Structure 1
Amino acid sequence: MLPVIAIVGRPNVGKSTLFNSLTRTRNALVADVPGLTRDRQYGISQQGSRACLIVDTGGLTGEDEGLDGLVARQAWKAIEEADTVLLLVDGRAGLTVADEEIASQLRRTGKVLHLVINKGEHRDPHLLSAEFHTLGLDHLHVIAAAHNQGIETLMKKVLAHLPAATGENSEPTAPEATP
């Protein structure tokens, strides 16, 4: 079985763009519209000789009811399945209360967490790192998913914390996404 990496965060921080970059596909829909991704999307990422299962999720809004609540439940299922969680935040928008709340909830899971600051192509990475350091996550990365910047370095560091694929047949398989 392949190690699993879940990508989570607020709406419109670039989760689906990062998913497409990591899986080298266009399977996840990408648009400047909040709430486009509603269910878990699975794809295989091949990084050199290592493969892993990537899970794209809808944006976490803090709502427990309605469509936002259903989207959140799907995201939390992905987090439960994951060996590692990438908390994606928006470097252009800066640190938000929602980012702080999501990071706080994720820290309680005991999962390996990586803070990934996206949209960092026009900002000083040291300033971004300092701004988001208050979230208290050990592994911090600055990328620009839309421009494929920092992706290779990100994955090298993430893979260093992942278990190897297990089982006789480590062929990629994705669990069914169900509400």
Structure 2
Amino acid sequence: MTQPIVAIIGRPNVGKSTLFNKIAGSRIAIVEDTPGVTRDRIYADCEWTSKKFTLIDTGGIEPYSKDSIFAQMRRQAQIAVEMAEVIVFVVDGREGMNASDQEVANWLRKSPAKVLVAGDK
């Protein structure tokens, strides 16, 4: 039996990789204040409250960017969303949701996965 997959999704620099490392219990993902450090999907086998699952960290989604690197990061996030049974949508709790967050939220609504919203920072 395969483990459930949980994907962490959100804009750049909202704390996705920090949350990933915390849940994974190890510094697997690089954490920087610079947007675009995480570009590919990063996986970790995790256990939380006696439940095992695979966790995926993704690069930040910039829905309005035309930059080819951000386009590739969006594609990597899309793959993670398609694989996931649960999505943790991370937003910056200090800023609240902005237009980019709303665009990502609209995209996530189309996924059959369960979506949890987490405020960070």
Unaligned ranges ≥5, structure 1: 120-179
If you compute each CA radius of gyration, which structure gives the higher value, 1 or 2?
1
Q: Which amino acid aligns with 1:103?
A: A
Q: Percent identity?
A: 40
TM-score (norm 2): 0.94
Greater helix proportion: 1
Q: Could you tell which deviates more after superposition, 42-51 or 79-88?
A: 42-51
What's the counterpart of residue 58 of structure 2? 57
Per-residue CA distance 1:5-56 (angstroms, 9 max, x = gap): 0000000000000000000010100011111000000002212321110000
What's the counterpart of residue 83 of structure 1? 85
Matches within 5 A, 1:3-18: 3-18=4-19
Distance (whole Å) between structure 2 residues aligned to residue 108 and residue 48 of structure 1 = 29
Distance (whole Å) between structure 2 residues aligned to residue 112 and residue 48 of structure 1 = 18
Q: Which amino acid aligns with 2:30?
A: L
Deviating 4+ runs (over 6 angstroms): none
Distance (whole Å) between structure 1 residues aligned to residue 20 and residue 29 of structure 2 = 7
RMSD: 1.0
Q: Which amino acid aligns with 1:104?
A: N
Q: Which amino acid aligns with 2:7?
A: A
Distance (whole Å) between structure 2 residues aligned to residue 88 and residue 64 of structure 1 = 22
What's the counterpart of residue 110 of structure 1? 112
SS where residue 6 of structure 1 aligns?
strand
Greater strand proportion: 2
Greater relative contact order (CA < 8 Å, ≥ 6 in sequence): 2
TM-score (norm 1): 0.64
Distance (whole Å) between structure 2 residues aligned to residue 74 and residue 95 of structure 1 = 22
- Say how many residue pairs are matched: 119
Distance (whole Å) between structure 2 residues aligned to residue 50 and residue 111 of structure 1 = 18
